[in-house]
Structure 1
Amino acid sequence: MQSFLIYSAQTRAWPIWVRYFMASIIVAGMVLLRQSLAVYVPAPLYLLFFPAILINAALFDRGTGIYSVVLSAALARYFYFEPTGSFALADARTNVGLLLFIGIGCAISFIIEALHTTAHRLIEANQRLAAAEREKELLFQEAGHRIKNDLAMIVALVRLQERTEKDPHVRDTLATTANRIHVLSRVHERLHPGEGTTSVINIADFITDLCEDITASLIGARPIAIRTKVERHWLSQERSVPIGIIVNELVTNCLKYAFPDDRSGTIVIGFVRQDECYELTVTDDGIGPTHTVGTRRSSGLGQRLVHSMAAQLGGTAKITFDGPAGACATVRFPVSVG
C-alpha cells in the first residue's frame, strides 16, 4: 500500500496533459479488450469501464477519474447503443443507464480520492510518530549514559573518601554506601540496555543477571553459591528498580554476615506469583539470626531500605528463621498496581 502511494504521488505530479492522455489510453484499452472478449464473454456494456475508472482515479486524481467516466460513457453510447456510431440521445432506458453509470463512476472517483488522501495522511502521521520515537530513544539513551556516568563518579568520590578515613566504622559505612550506589548503577544498566529498550522487564532475566553481577563482584573465591528459582513475569521498569535494590541488599547482607570465616553455603533467590501477589524470597543456610537485616550485626539502614522498597511496591517484608541456622527474607506485594 505504501509503495503504491509513493508511486501514485509521482504519477499525480505529471503534467495535466500527460495524465489525461494516459487516462484516455487506458479507457481505449478497455474498449479494445471488451471488443476482443465480446465473442467469448457477453459482458455487460459498462463492466470493463469500471477498472479504467478505478485505475485512473487511483493513479492520477479525482479529475482524471471523472474525465474517465465521461469518456467511457461517450464511448459506450457511440459503440454499444442503438443507433451505434452516434452521440445522439437514445431511448429513455439507455439515457437512465448512462446517467446511473456516470453517477456511480463519479462517486467511485470521489471515494478513491478520499481514501488516497486519508491513507497518505496516515502514512505521514506514522512517519512523524516513528521520527518522534527515534528522537525519544536517542534522548533516552543519552540520559541513561549520563546517569550511569554520574553514578560512577559518585561511587568513585565515596570510595576516595573511604580511603582517607581512619575510623573503621566510618570506612565501613562509606563502603556500604558506595556498594548501594553501585547497585543502583547496575540496576539502571540492566533496565536500560540500550537501543530497543521496552517499558516492561522480564523479572526472571533481570534477577538472574543481577545475581551474576553480585557473584562476580562480591563472592570471588569464597565457597558460596547463589541460585535463582524465579518465574518469568513481566513487570514495569518502575517496579523492577525496588526489586533490584531489595535483592542486592538482602544478598549482600547474607554474604557479609551469614558465612563468616570462609564458611561454605548457598543463597537461594525465589520469585513466584501466588494468587494476586508476587513473593520474593532470599534464603540462606548460614549462621542464622545474627546476620539478618535489622539485627545488631547489620545496619539499621539496611532494614529501613528493604522495608521502604517493599512499601514502595505496596507490600511488606519480614524475616523468618529455620531453626538455629539459616534465615529467609520474604517480600510480598500485589500483582496489580493500586
Structure 2
Amino acid sequence: MKKIMSIMLVCVLVFFGGVFAWKAFVLHEEKKMSMEFKNPIITISAVAASTLEWDPTLQAVGSTRTVKGVNVTTELAGMITDIPFTPGANVKKGDVLVRLNIAPEVAQLHQLEAQAKLAKITYERDKKQFSFGAVSKEQLDTDDANMESTKASVEQEQATIDKKIIRAPFTGKLGISAVNPGEYINSGQTIVSLQTLDPIFVDFYLPQQDMQNAAVGQSVEVTSDRVPGQKFIGKITTINPIVNTDIRNVEVEATLSNPKAVLLPGMFTNVQLNTGSGKKEITLPEMAITFNPYGALVYLLQKTDQMHDGKAVWKAEQQFVTTGKTRGNQIAVLKGIKEGDMVVTSGQLKLKNGSLVVIDNTAVPSDNPNPPVKDRS
C-alpha cells in the first residue's frame, strides 16, 4: 500500500512539474515574441563612409546650340528648275542649293549688255570727235552718263540672276529639303536648314552666388545621354552681363569641339565646371542623409552579438551631421562621422534610435559622382 502511494505521489509531482515547466516555457516564448514585436529587426542597406578626392565643381544643365544655323531662303520668288543638293549632306560655302528659272532675266541681260556695248562705242567715238571740236562737251557728258547707266543696268540684272541661284552661305550640314523641283516659291520661303556642328555652343545657367567661380576661358566638361561615358571638353566663351530677374541666374555660353558631329543643336546636356584644387572629403550616397527641421542626420550602425537568419544584427543610432557640396549622387560630410563608420543608405523611414537591423545590400542607392543625365522633358 505504501508502495502504491509513493508511485502515485511521484506521478503527481511529475505531472505538476511538467505543467509548471510548460507554463514557464510558454511565458518565456511570449516574452520573447513581445520583445521582438516591440523592437523588430528591420532590413536596410548600408555603406561604410569613405574618404575620396573631391574636386570642387559646379553642376548645371545645358542645351546645345549651333554656332551658325539658318533656314536657307530665297530673296526672290520664282519657279524651281533644279535642286542639286542631297538632304543631310555636308556642303561648303558657295555650293549651289537651288536654281530658279532665270530665262527671262538672261534674255533681259543680253539686251542690256548690247545697250551697254553700244553706249560705250558711242562714248568712245564722240570722245575722239570732241578732241577735234566736232562734238560739244555737253554731248560727251551725256554719252558718258548713258554708258555708266547701261553698265549699272547690266550689273543690276546680273545681281537678279545671282539671287535666283541660291548658294550655301557657309559650310555646314543640310537638313531635310522643304521644296521640290517645279515648285513655285515665294520670297522668304524656307528651302532647307543649314547648321554648323563643329564647333558647337552649350548654353547653361549658373546661380548668381556662384558667378565668382566662373570666368571666360575656364574649362568645362559636358556629357550627354546620347553617348554615355563620353566627355566633351570645352571652354567658357561668353558670360551674359545681365542676371535673369525671374530666376536670379546668369546665362553662360561654352564652346565645344564636335568633330564627329555627335552633339546636335537642341540636345540636353550635363555641364560641370571645376572651380578649384581637389581635397579629401568623407563622402556618402546622398540618399543616406535624412533632413528634418533640426538639421541633417544619418543613422550610424553598431554591431551587436546577435544573429538573425544567419546575418549579423546591428543597432541604429541617429547622428546629426554637417554636409557640404554634392556631386552627382554623392554628398560630402564635413562633421559628424568618420571614415569607416557604417551608415544606413535606405530604409531610414522605418528606423528610430535603438532599432535593430540587418544589412541587405542587394539593391543600394547610386553612389556615382557623374551619373548619366536623362532628359525628362
TM-score by length of 1: 0.27
Larger proportion of helix:
1
Structure with greater proportional strand content:
2
Normalising by structure 2, what TM-score? 0.25
Of structures 1 and 2, the larger Rg is shown by 2
